Structure 1
Amino acid sequence: MVGSPETSRAQAAPSARAAIKGWGRRMNERWPHRRLIQFAGGHDWGVQAAAEVIASRTPQRPVWLSNAPLPDAIPMAKAQQLLGGECDLLVMDLWSGLDADALGASVGSLRGGGLLLLLTPRLADWPHWIDPEAARIAVHPHSAAEVGTRFIARLARLLQSSAAVIHIDGSDTETAIDAVVALTVGEWQQRQRPTLDPTRPATPDQAQAVAAIRALVSARARRPLVLTADRGRGKSAALGIAAGEAILQHRARIIVTAPRRSAVEPLFAHAQATLRAASASEAEPLLSFAAPDALLADSSAPDLLMIDEAAGIPAPLLEQLLMRYPRICFATTVHGYEGTGRGFELRFRALLEQRTPGWRALHLKTPIRWRQDDALEQLIDQILLLDAEPAADARIAATDLASARFAIRSPETLANDEALLRQLFGLLVLGHYQTRPNDLRHLLDGPNLEVATLSVGAEANVGSNVGVNVGADIDMSDLVLATALIAREGTLASELLQPIFEGRRRPRGHLLPQTLSAHAGLAEAPELGYARIVRIAVHPAARRRGLGRRLVGELATRARRDGLDLLGASFGASAELLAFWRRCGLAPLHLGTRRNTASGAHAAVVLQALSPAGEALVAHARTRLGDDLPSLLSGPLQAVEPSLVAALLQELPQRETIGGADDQRQIDAFADAHRSFEAALPALERLVRAQLVAHQAGIQGGLEAEQRDLLISSLLQRRAAEVVIRERGLSGRGELLQRLRAAIGALRDCQQDHQRISNTQASAPRA
């Protein structure tokens, strides 16, 4: 236990004091570094040591993160509330649990000259200790003790080797004393930190961003701005200052949106400061917040739409906003706690090129809260792989993709091969906008998870790198071309079947069997064994080459060999993703009735049978889908995209036909512009359902996708005419009726063509 502050100061050697003061003077010459101090020892000792440091730096108010009942401590799960804020003293009690998301979120709020105090067990003991957060990683029937500790072992190794960390061991009192003295020298951090004006840009690139955002208000329409930055570069501040200036100069009406209201608090604070500085508080109502989905129903026309943390908003929703609002600024974090911006940048760029080729990009490089070469930023990036990138495109382009080999990568290999881990996790970040720091811990320590790759060996790759500079910057690890994260699920005890079906039990870590039982009505689903593909990603330079299909095929072969019944996945559904999984042999057999709050999409379940029991479940799922879909389409799935409905219709058993000659007369009368839509509705619905189920794959030549979607939304989903007219940009009911007649006519022709083909085949002599 550390002694009193007076005793500590009395025991410090004069020479140590002089050296520390000299270090402090040198640091005064520039913006000060942020520092990390690790108190590795008993919990009570660490809390007392942290209290001494805090007492030496008054009047700075500390921010405590802990799941323990400490005074004024913020629970780890609520660390997101620190995003956008600033502090000078941050204490993280890792004795109460290591939450990687909380670590990434909180460190970004620490200003230059600030201190991060980590309270941990001793480094040698930490990997052998059952972390309280392990309970969140454990899946049924595993306990917290069965969760791996590779993430913590890697963290301890990186902390031990980093020059950015001051290590204080609970058994080394003199080291602790010296560190406390070092932190009390003159409070030079407070004296030397520049005072930033919240109404003015702090860096040249931030000033450039403010000017570009402000210019959007009067610029030509359909030329969106994409603003990217790492954490701490003043992205939200630039948006806020620009908003305030645009209101002052043009009385512009600006709407701000983001995944959550709290994410844009700094934006509003800077805008309001800019307005107050000009004594223009009455203009503040011109700046407002709206949730992303609410914007689509908003009939107003603001002068500018600002989307902050755009990578956290589903791409289909962003596309609708892009086409709905003529002047728009997208802003997002590239590297940081959100962990999504890099993938957003790659995926969204193609959409912008297609829809708005005159778009502009700006990137903020200079940090505002800390120094350019901040050692703590570099360390946290390394620990959480916030800056992880896949292999360079040039290396992939010079590789023989046909030589790629399939492998299951053990967690031990990944934890000890930093270059391989960075490639692999970089691919996951690019491919999935929801990838977060905690996913890294799950990847290394999850008891039911495996990591698969398609890769090319480093030696073979280097030999084929004709024209590529292979130097010291090229690592010698395998080149990862594609990767997948797989979870083993199911094979649950029979006594759990009814409670899961009734929604009374939700064993952790069994997403597919629980979804199929509790939501799709397949009570027997949890008894079977599943390999769920949690994430899959292919290197951007190797896409459209069949690697994704090959990787899924290898996973199916392995799962079948291991005696599992089904290969599956669950994801935010889109027509593109459903098409990919269908090419891989997995059919969509369930669509969630509610949109996921994170993805904004309905969750689809796709399955491939690997055993007779799996085939029986798939057949049951198809039957249930056919029974339930008509009611769901006119109810909770009424607003789902028609292209997704079409994909589900392909899986229905063919059993619907039109009602004979009477139906045919009504169909003909409607298509030929005689009979009303309402009078012919039952016959038209039977035609659409029968033909889209029976001949979905073969009607593309006669029925356009736009016509198919119009029939689904009007006849199967029963959307109101006003809704269909607005969604499709039609002039009114007359044009809607005209298009419906044309679509029914095309579908009728498909029906007749298929009937003729069937009759011809039936009458042909057999060999």
Structure 2
Amino acid sequence: MPTPSPQATAIVALARALRAEALGCRQRRVLLVSGEVGWCERQALAVLATLPGLATTWLSARASPPQAEPLGAARKLLGGELALLVYDAHGGFDPDAFGAATGALIGGGLLLLLTPPLAEWSTLTDPQTARLAPWPHPPQPGGRFIARLARVLASDPALVHIDQSQHPAHWPQPDTPAPAPAPPPAPDAEGAASADQARAIEAVLRVARGRAHRPLVLSAHRGRGKSAALGIAARRLLAEAEDYRILVTAPNRGAAATLLGHAGSHPGLDFVAPADLLDRHPAADLVLVDEAAAIPAPLLEGLLHRYPRLVFAATVHGYEGTGRGFELRFRDALERHTPGWRLERLEQPIRWAAHDPLETLGFRALLLDAAIPAIDPPSSTTLAGITCERLDRDTLAGDETTLGALFGLLVQAHYQTRPADLRMLLDGPGVRVYACRLAGRVVATLIASAEGGIDDPALRAAIFEGRRRPRGHLLPQTLSAHAGLAEAPALRALRVVRIATHPALRRHGLGARLLTTLQAAARAEGLDLVGTSFGATPGLLAFWRHQGWRLAQVGTSRNAASGEHAVVLLAACSAAGERLATRAERRLGARIGVLLAGPLRALDPRIAAALLSALPPPSRNALEEDSAELHAFANAHRTLEASLAPLAGLTRVRLAETLRAGRITPDEAALLVACALQLHAPATLVERFSASGREALTEQLRMVTGRLLEAAMPGAGADKTTPRTP
């Protein structure tokens, strides 16, 4: 074996000292090794050779050394525990992977972070930027994100930095003697390792033993023991009753490993994937949902309908998604369906001791603790002082206050916001950042991305035919490949990627002002369209329709991230854009009936009704021919089955106007859509809409049909229709 170099010997001694120091205070320590790639790798291998037997992972986008795992393997570390982590950033820096992996390091653990020289890191090509770069952009230099990260690393007081360009005599020296290892916190008699965790366990037990339909949300940063609390509570409940049944769900089984490990093996405990819970609806006395922030909101809301006793655990902010945003967004569903729900926060760390340097570094580097500023209730004078502007990203990257407030808005508004989104807004090619300011503070923001302008006819044809899917360009590719608009990729567009407003200033028109600013900029540049794509909900559709944007496309399958059907809305900025938006809207209107009866048959009828309301109604000519049949159904005893075809036509023509006029409720509109367009069986409708039986359901449909008829034919009111016979 070759003799270690003096540099390697010095680094090994320092790493061993840091490891001992970390064990002594039960915190984590960070050793940053910067320099040429081969040199950094050799130093890390020397450290690993002198610290054998530790739970270790080496993450790298490069294939060297042999034990290195790809950055994507960081996903597997969720719920796991590491004592030593090597993160090689020479092959690119993935913020999500870094956040996931460092969260798996336990107290006493050591992070070896390998980077290029900090001063030049941001100028080097980073292969990880390929995910940010739309076609035809190649991978970019590290840019603003890496420059900021390098500043954060260089200024971190607890981080130990070894720089290849410095003589070892100038490197930090290990402290001696090393402190004795600190024992982990001793669990109490019930297994809780902190007072917070004990309260969380008792809260879970109250859900199981107390009144039904009072779900619990556990919210915490990583390492606070929320998953363990679920497992300990499950173990206690299963020990009390042999026939008790608990179902555990999470984004994947690995994410529930800590929970399942603390619960132990028991015939009454099973893991079930979230979608399977809804599809199969297996019986359970209690359902535990771990890492809920990474599960689509519609699936979680579906669980509220199906199970009376639920506990949701969510990470406040991290790779898994943002628990703070989850909490705010899911709160509406909880208030609607289970107003007796409760929130329990865990603050005290368990996996490591308080004031952990690596946690502090992660918060700063990835803005994991980004928060929105406190805002007093606005007055008319306050609102008049709000300004909108496009932000310069070079300036933004150096303004920690503005950047933190802006990212905090994204976190609280979009619960799937991840560390990678910070890199996107700082470095994404063609990305624009707009903001509204109040007294200098960011209180609303809009992120947009340039798309389209694909001049190559062969590539456009390949997109239309489904043979090519170049990176990025979501709007034009969706409109071409799925909406049948082959010309869409040639047009130049701006896509709204995110829009968020401070909670205290919502419903005061800030979102509309940002959109107006964006559209004015697009017109001034000679662009054709502005557009957006998002998971459809009635509220979001209403907001965008209120801005005058037009519905252009509905996805026929659920989006993997949101669990919702994606929609595309457009606003024209040129004559060519107007022609495309009009054509898209018209084509979707002609197809929506077939879609609702086919691939969208399982779509929530409330969303289906909102989609119909967003589209221009078809011609009214057919209503005159169907008038007699419709009146016979509404006011006499004509059967539902015999009336379905004319009822479908009436729904398409009159639903939007009748709903806007307040003559029917959103639930009544949803019932009509589910019955006449999605063609659900009466038994399904009775269950979904809580009717007392088929007869009551039919009576409700007759009544709603009558209201649509009154709107459709003002001269044919109730006094002029065939009276109901007993």
> TM-score if structure 2 supplies the norm length?
0.92
| Structure-1 separation of matches of 2:71 and 2:670 | 46
Matched, 1:409 2:399: no
Residues 482 and 521 (structure 1 numbering): CA distance in 2 closer, same or farther, change over 3 Å? same
Residues 240 and 399 (structure 1 numbering): CA distance in 2 closer, same or farther, change over 3 Å? farther
| Structure-1 separation of matches of 2:599 and 2:495 | 26
| Structure-1 separation of matches of 2:536 and 2:200 | 35
Where 1:454 maps in the other structure, the secondary structure is strand
Residue identity opposite 1:253 in structure 2? R
Where 2:317 maps in the other structure, the secondary structure is coil
1:454–1:483 Cα contact (<8 Å) kept: yes
Describe the superposition over 1:702-727 as per-residue Cα deviations: whole angstroms up to 9, x where unpaired: 33322221111111111222222221
Matched, 1:63 2:53: no
Aligned to 2:322: 340
TM-superposed CA distance for 1:614, in Å, is: 0.9
Q: Which structure 2 residues correspond to residues 610-689 of structure 1 after superposition, within 5 A?
A: 610-657=573-620, 659=622, 663-689=626-652
Matched, 1:222 2:216: no
Aligned to 2:257: 265
Where 1:305 maps in the other structure, the secondary structure is strand
Matched, 1:393 2:375: yes
Question: How many equivalent pairs are there?
Answer: 713
TM-superposed CA distance for 1:339, in Å, is: 4.0
Q: Which structure 2 residues correspond to residues 259-658 of structure 1 after superposition, within 5 A?
A: 259-272=251-264, 281=265, 284-394=266-376, 400-456=382-438, 461=439, 478-495=440-457, 496-657=459-620
RMSD: 2.8
Residues 634 and 52 (structure 1 numbering): CA distance in 2 closer, same or farther, change over 3 Å? same
Describe the superposition over 1:431-484 as per-residue Cα deviations: whole angstroms up to 9, x where unpaired: 11111001101111111101000102xxxx3xxxxxxxxxxxxxxxx2111101
Describe the superposition over 1:132-180 as per-residue Cα deviations: whole angstroms up to 9, x where unpaired: 21222211222224x561111111111111112111112335259866x
1:168–1:175 Cα contact (<8 Å) kept: no
Q: Which structure 2 residues correspond to residues 153-164 of structure 1 after superposition, within 5 A?
A: 153-164=147-158
TM-superposed CA distance for 1:503, in Å, is: 1.4
| Structure-2 separation of matches of 1:153 and 1:97 | 13
TM-superposed CA distance for 1:335, in Å, is: 2.7
TM-superposed CA distance for 1:398, in Å, is: 11
TM-superposed CA distance for 1:5, in Å, is: 3.6
Aligned to 1:131: 126
Residue identity opposite 1:450 in structure 2? R
Residue identity opposite 2:58 in structure 1? W
| Structure-2 separation of matches of 1:629 and 1:720 | 20
| Structure-2 separation of matches of 1:11 and 1:641 | 63
| Structure-2 separation of matches of 1:11 and 1:578 | 61
Residues 48 and 186 (structure 1 numbering): CA distance in 2 closer, same or farther, change over 3 Å? farther
Where 1:724 maps in the other structure, the secondary structure is helix
Matched, 1:254 2:246: yes
Residue identity opposite 1:722 in structure 2? A
Gaps of 5+ in 1: 273-280, 462-477, 757-767
| Structure-1 separation of matches of 2:22 and 2:596 | 66
TM-superposed CA distance for 1:4, in Å, is: 3.5
Alignment identity in percent? 47
Match of 1:201 among 187, 192, 206: 192
| Structure-1 separation of matches of 2:109 and 2:9 | 25
Describe the superposition over 1:194-224 as per-residue Cα deviations: whole angstroms up to 9, x where unpaired: 3877982111211121122123211111222
| Structure-1 separation of matches of 2:689 and 2:609 | 18
Residue identity opposite 1:409 in structure 2? L
2:388–2:513 Cα contact (<8 Å) kept: no
TM-superposed CA distance for 1:397, in Å, is: 7.7
Gaps of 5+ in 2: 718-726
Matched, 1:112 2:119: no
| Structure-2 separation of matches of 1:11 and 1:379 | 24
Describe the superposition over 1:103-141 as per-residue Cα deviations: whole angstroms up to 9, x where unpaired: 000000111121111111111121111112122221122
| Structure-2 separation of matches of 1:563 and 1:79 | 43
Aligned to 1:471: none
Q: Structure 1 stretch 547-556 or stretch 339-348: which is displaced more?
A: 339-348
Residues 3 and 721 (structure 1 numbering): CA distance in 2 closer, same or farther, change over 3 Å? same
TM-superposed CA distance for 1:684, in Å, is: 2.2
Match of 2:36 among 26, 39, 42: 42
Matched, 1:752 2:713: yes
Where 1:450 maps in the other structure, the secondary structure is strand
1:702–1:749 Cα contact (<8 Å) kept: no
| Structure-2 separation of matches of 1:491 and 1:139 | 12
Aligned to 1:467: none
1:210–1:241 Cα contact (<8 Å) kept: yes
2:30–2:358 Cα contact (<8 Å) kept: yes
Aligned to 1:149: 143
1:148–1:447 Cα contact (<8 Å) kept: no
> TM-score if structure 1 supplies the norm length?
0.87
Residue identity opposite 2:677 in structure 1? L
2:617–2:652 Cα contact (<8 Å) kept: no
TM-superposed CA distance for 1:323, in Å, is: 3.5
1:112–1:193 Cα contact (<8 Å) kept: no
1:658–1:687 Cα contact (<8 Å) kept: no
Residues 651 and 300 (structure 1 numbering): CA distance in 2 closer, same or farther, change over 3 Å? closer
Where 2:713 maps in the other structure, the secondary structure is helix
Residue identity opposite 2:79 in structure 1? G
Match of 2:26 among 20, 32, 36: 32
| Structure-1 separation of matches of 2:170 and 2:377 | 48
2:434–2:446 Cα contact (<8 Å) kept: yes
1:12–1:178 Cα contact (<8 Å) kept: no
TM-superposed CA distance for 1:25, in Å, is: 8.3
| Structure-2 separation of matches of 1:177 and 1:653 | 71
Aligned to 1:710: 671
Aligned to 2:225: 234
